[in-house]
Structure 1
Amino acid sequence: MRYKPPFTLTSEILNLVAEISQQVGELNASQLNASSQLRKQNRIKTITGTLAIEGNTLTEEQVTAIVEGKPVLGSMRELAEVKGAIAAYDALPTFTPSAIDDLLTAHGLMLSDIFANAGEFRSKGVGIHKGGVVHHVTPPAHQVSGLMADLIQWLKQTKDHPLIASCVFHYEFEFIHPFADGNGRMGRLWQTLILSKWQPIFINIPVESLVHQHQEAYYLAIRNSTAQTDCSPFIRYMLQMILDAIEDSTSRQFENAGISAGINAGLKLSPLDHAILELIKADRYITNAMLAEQTGKALSTIERRIKKLKEHLFLKRVGAKKTGHWEVHS
């Protein structure tokens, strides 16, 4: 193999791969009973999230209406972006990750109603700006085809785990920036495609929605990877988002099944939920940061699980945020 993207596999990355693999196995079993409505909701979250990262302001409710063929008020561009994303994600199972023609076809579906050169690699140089500052000058346009061919060939031949390979491809794709527009949403689409070829369940896991919730960290991970000439920061970030998305999907599946709040109603707690509750029972003044450290989870994951436990009446916060304490209800 003549080309290999630069990345370092840390113990943190390997631990995330192991944890995601375990969670995927558990979710695969439970998804056998997942409703078509839940799958539809996840797809809508995916589309809304990936477009919101690019500045699209349409809500999940509006995207749902578009999916259902109902009229929606909005700018022509935003409506076209949603319709393009729907078409691209609907076609996702028909694509092969290592096929350049499929990549170009997907870009055409995603952006054909937005600009004339959809489905073609860019013909000009591009600078990535944020806040008026140039953060990245892309490779010259005449190098794009060769760089993409190298990246696709690496993806086709790599022995790295699909979780790792999908993150590496996503980062390298953004670095090359092969299209004049739509590179962010295409990088996320293709990572989902790569993951879905490993585990089809990823078609229905809205990772893009979590990325949108942590959008600044997404761009920071890209910048740090570029500065280090090593995409490990981006791999760590994306693996954490994937893990968080899986945990969120598991939680919403039980809610969607009509399980009401409260322990007596039979709400299924994850192993992480049990660990959080036990730690709080042992120390009712414990902070979210301490819970993250003691469970080995990201702070964002702990915050989401705490929110869910409070919504379902397992937990109650008494007093002020800094000086108060937790009560566990059983």
Structure 2
Amino acid sequence: MMSHQDSKMSYQPPYTITPKILHLIAEISENLGRLSILMEQSANLRLRRINRIRTIQGSLAIEGNTLTEQQITAILEGKPVIAPPREIQEARNALAAYEQLEQWQASREAHLLDAHLLLMHGLIDEAGTYRHKGVGVMRGDQVIHMAPPANRVNILMGDLLSWLKTTPDHALIASCVFHYEFEFIHPFIDGNGRMGRLWQTLILSQWNPLFIHIPVESMVYAQQEAYYQALNESTSQTDSAPFIEFMLTVILEACLLATPPRQPSSHPPSI
């Protein structure tokens, strides 16, 4: 196992690259090769849109939004939808943010703040700015994580973004480490979950543009309890390897889900 706690860099998040992580990276890379051929076909433009809707529905559902894929599709098409106004606003914001994704650079703080402003527009007063007070992550009545003090957020996020810009590690690893560290810092008063997932997708898409069309978030939603458990395990171990392993497993499943079924050949089999 390779440990990444010690480094000459000014800041290095603690994580271990396990054999399972290396195996998952190889599996994902192999599936991406297959997927790229299928996605290049113009007939799959509809599939890309379906996967985008799945992504948004999944990420919002984790935060308690009840809109279906059909309702989010209707919002995208400008059709009226009967649903709580806040949930419609969340969907509109998410659609706008994922549409903007390719314009942002993952290591730029200004882009991160712009993304939060777009994602949380009309939902909170502090959209686009780091929090100015303490926050805890709640599950029911229980505080499961007390985030670092607000006066540390600027420094911690600066360190994390600098690390992201300079890390030599594979984007599949770096995106998971960033996602974990971002949730640990919890830099915003609200919207941290959906921002962390959006930013992991951005990091991945800058490595391979296919990730714009792979519904990783919908797979996270399907395994929501395991997602929170992996976050908690990483915190208790002071090593984000459990979260990296979980997210890479989810990414692999999402790659398989995004692959359209094979079309039957129109030619008779050769004898």
CA distance in 2, matches of 1:248, 1:129: 31
Aligned residue in 2 for 1:194: 203
Q: Is structure 2 residue 172 aligned with structure 1 residue 163?
A: yes
**What is aligned with 1:254?**
261
Deviation readout 1:18-49 (Å, 9 max, x if unpaired):
11111111111221115221111010000000
1:286-323 C-alpha deviation (Å, 9 max, x unpaired): xxxxxxxxxxxxxxxxxxxxxxxxxxxxxxxxxxxxxx
Structure 1 moving runs of 4+ over 4 Å:
none
- Give 5+ residue unaligned stretches, structure 2: 1-8, 267-271
Q: Does 1:4 align with 2:5?
A: no
Find 1:115's aligned residue among 117, 124, 127.
124
1:266 Cα deviation from its structure 2 partner = 5.2
Q: Verify: 1:13 aligned to 2:37, yes or no.
A: no
Over the matched positions of the two proteins, sequence identity in percent amounts to 56
Deviation at 1:247, TM superposition (A): 0.5
Could you tell me which residue of structure 2 aligns to residue 147 of structure 1? Answer: 156
Partner of 1:238: helix, strand, or coil?
helix
Aligned partner of 1:23 among 20, 28, 31: 31
Q: In the aligned structure 1, how far is the partner of 2:265 from the partner of 2:51? A: 24
Q: TM-score, normalised by structure 1?
A: 0.76
Q: CA deviation at 1:219?
A: 0.3
The equivalent of 2:143 in structure 1 is: 134
Give the 5 Å matches for 1:290-309.
none
CA–CA separation in structure 1 for the residues paired with 2:217 and 2:14: 24
Matched residue, 1:229: 238
Determine the C-alpha separation between the residues in 2 that align with 1:173 and 1:9: 19
Which amino acid is the alignment partner of residue 119 of structure 1? G
SS at match of 1:254: coil
Contact 2:219–2:250 (CA<8 Å) still a contact in 1? yes
Q: Residue 241 of structure 1 aligns to which amino acid in structure 2? A: V
The equivalent of 1:311 in structure 2 is none
Please name the residue that 2:184 is paired with: 175
- Separation (CA, whole Å) in 2 of partners of 1:85 and 1:266: 38
CA distance in 2: counterparts of 1:254 and 1:227, whole angstroms: 41
Work out whether residues 38 and 44 of structure 2, in 8 Å CA contact, stay in contact via their aligned partners in 1: no
User: Could you tell me the TM-score, scaled by structure 2's length?
Assistant: 0.93
- How many aligned positions are there? 257
Structure 1 unmatched runs, 5+: 260-264, 268-330
Larger RCO: 1 or 2 (CA < 8 Å, sep 6+): 2
